A and B are shown apart, each in its own frame.
Chain A
Amino acid sequence: MTVLRGTRPNPSALAQWWVMTTRFIIPTFRNGELITATAASVGFTAGFYIPLHEFMKPAIGGMSSYGQFLMPLIALQAVYFAAMSTAFRSANDSVSGLTRRYGSMPIAPMTPVIARLSASLYRCLIGIGVALICGHVIGFRFYGGFLHMAGFVALLIVLGMLLALVGDVFGTASRNPEAAMQWMLLPQMILGMLSVGFQPAELFPKWIQSFVRNQPISQWVSVLRALAGDSTPAAGTVTWKLLAISVAWVVGPALVMGPLSASVQRRRS
């Protein structure tokens, strides 16, 4: 009688993470995804700056240009596109059964999630780069020195990761990759338009002003705007209170999404 005695493999979690991450990154060199991301950023910048910069100029509360005013929203939509892409990947993994397959292998449950988030970090960095170039063309400049500039980029990266986690959970829970990605357009559009990213809260009708002021996108826009600064004092100043609010809007959702991600991942594998 033959006894098949297997040894339990002991793979390196780091190597697994790296394989899974490059699996998402390498295809972007050939599948035109980088072109789509760039086109989206350029289209968004041109599509909102050109029609609105003269129409909005008198309304932006003394800031030097509409480019300076609009830039935080352009940067936020860039990281949001990266998150939509993450939703598409995680939905694909979930629908094709790959998530279930991973569950049957000696892989830590969150390794695939972390790999997708790492790939999203790569997309975020590209998106932020393209957005900064677009912003520079429409007259956006950093006025606050190196520390504020680094804070601007760091906050965008953190927000990009948070949104990617939201996208990952949503995609994993869904059953249709294309639909998951496209459904994410809706909150972006509504919350983006009803934020202080386009125009100051005072210009909204009275009944909706408190929502516009306090919703997360507006909070993030306010901090980003203050971090970027302006040639006039109208951009606001970076205060501990402003930072604390935006940090709360990152930590709070992350505390909800982290466990949710683990539970959705477990349910779909």
Chain B
Amino acid sequence: MTAVLDGAVPVVPPGSERGLRALAAQTRVETWRLLVRLCRNPVALLFLVLMPIGFMIALDIVLGDRISAVTGHSALYGTVPMNAVATAVNGSMVVAVGLASEQTSGLLSRLWVLPVHRASGLLARMVAEAVRIPVTTAVLLGVGAAMGFRFHQGWLGVVGWFLVPVIFGLPIAMLITTVALYWAKTPLVEAVVLVLVLAILFSTGFIPLSGYPRWVQPVVEHQPLTYTIEAMRGMSVGGPVLSPMIGVLLWSGGIAAAFLYPMVRGYRRASTR
């Protein structure tokens, strides 16, 4: 007897995975999937909430008074942005660990043979970052506000303050994603934590520039995390915005330019092996 399974296989017209409409719809599904997975990840709570908030509060207790004495304003105007950016990086790391396991489990190759727009996988990762970063930034801002953080530069400053971590976080997400795509077995968490901790300890969000030994000051002054912190400091408490913002844009543009093509190539490579 022959069983006819009518309608069991959805009929997909050829070429339906092309075009902007397909891209938008599939990116939406994929973005949602990434955000749900992140929320259910047991280490997300640790790296996106407890660690940055704990570090921020402890840092304020340990060094807050002495830093305020040097800069003339609360140390929170440096530590809240610093932890906002650190959280953005942590988030990319947690998501990238998931990506590496999706590659080894074969999910990426599975998606590659389905009628799915080629760009939707990566685009969704970037959209998910752009959605996630303002949320974690807002959580840190809430804690900071309870401790005395206030905006003094009007609504434009608030909007800009929320945008800076996204502007810097997306290129960093591209960097971390690229690493995860090429080397699925790297100890990604250890590597990111080590680099991030060093970036934090050598930034003006930790202690003021004048507190560092003279020979290391140029490194502290021009590294990307310092630029983002200084831009956000200018947008909240006041001070120069344009020059640190140029630094943020140059670093972000440079990292994005360097990693966009390797990331796209790496995604194709990881999906087709």
Contacts and interface: CB of A to CB of B under 8 A. Distances in A.
Interface string B178-192: 000000000101100
B12 interface: no
A208 interface: yes
B189 A178 contact: yes
Nearest to A52: B207
B155 interface: no
B211 A54 contact: yes
A194 interface: yes
Contacts of B216: 50-51
Q: Is the interface of A mostly helix, strand, loop or mixed?
A: helix
Contacts of B62: 193-194, 198-199, 204
A176 interface: yes
A55 B197 contact: no
B264 interface: no
A198 B190 CA distance: 23
B54 A190 contact: yes
Given A51-B211, A55-B207, A190-B54, A182 B46 contact: yes
Given A52-B207, A186-B50, A205-B61, A178 B43 contact: yes
A207 B206 CA distance: 23
Contacts, number: 80
Contacts of A59: 66
Interface stretch (A36-44, A121-129, A221-229, A234-242): A36-44
A39 B197 CA distance: 12
Contacts of A43: 194, 197-198
Nearest to A55: B211
Interface string B11-47: 0000000000000000000000000000000110011
Contacts of A193: 55, 58-59, 61-62
A231 to B, nearest CB: 22
Interface in A147-187: 176, 178-179, 182-183, 185-186
B259 interface: no
A182 B48 CA distance: 13
Given A51-B207, A55-B211, A205-B65, A185 B51 contact: yes
B61 A204 contact: yes
Interface string B195-222: 0011001100011000111001000100
Interface of B: 42-43, 46-47, 50-51, 54-55, 58-59, 61-62, 65-66, 97, 187, 189-190, 193-194, 197-198, 201-202, 206-207, 211-213, 216, 220
18 contacts: A36-B187, A36-B190, A43-B197, A47-B202, A51-B212, A53-B213, A54-B212, A176-B42, A178-B43, A178-B189, A179-B42, A179-B46, A182-B43, A182-B47, A182-B189, A186-B51, A193-B58, A205-B65
Given A178-B43, A204-B62, 15 more contacts: A43-B198, A51-B202, A51-B212, A51-B220, A54-B211, A55-B66, A179-B42, A183-B46, A185-B46, A185-B193, A186-B54, A189-B54, A193-B58, A193-B61, A203-B66
